[in-house]
Structure 1
Amino acid sequence: MLKVEGDTHNLYQQEFLNSTTQRSIPPHILKVKKGVSLILLRNIDPRYDLCNETRLLCRGFFKNMLDVEILTESYAGKRACLPIIKLKTNMNS
């Protein structure tokens, strides 16, 4: 690896960054397959029952979205697209 003085962008190697874990965030890579059940862990849109603990079924993928089917409550059977959400954590956790 080429080192440039004052370059903090490449301070740590990618393998090291990918191996670090914290209790407050999921693993570095989250693998989701078509047809698997998911549970929403964030309130996205309560009007359409896209809130914490809603059960979903993965129907497909787009570049930055998941195509899901709602399995619970009054919106069962309805489809929704969930965006990829970047996770942030406090340095203290």
Structure 2
Amino acid sequence: MELHVVINGRKDLADQLYRQLRDAIESGRLAAGAQLPPSRLLAEQLGISRKTVSDTYSLLTYENFLIGRIGRGTFVNARPVKAEPKQ
């Protein structure tokens, strides 16, 4: 799994990361079950604080986009398929 995140500037870092991860999940670029990099590694790669990455992972977990497994990592959660409205 390749994760492509681009941080522009030094403002709204958490929001930039959140939007890019959420968009990748919703679009299917990050499939259910895909493992995200550890927060420490992603923070280092992006040049941002680990707290920013951890807070973003926590928010996406709260919103049921991610699931954390103790000792294993953070994964994209399986999302229910939205049913088409019955007519």
TM-score, normalised with respect to structure 1: 0.25
Query: Greater helix share, 1 or 2?
Result: 2
- The higher radius of gyration belongs to 1
TM-score, normalised with respect to structure 2: 0.26
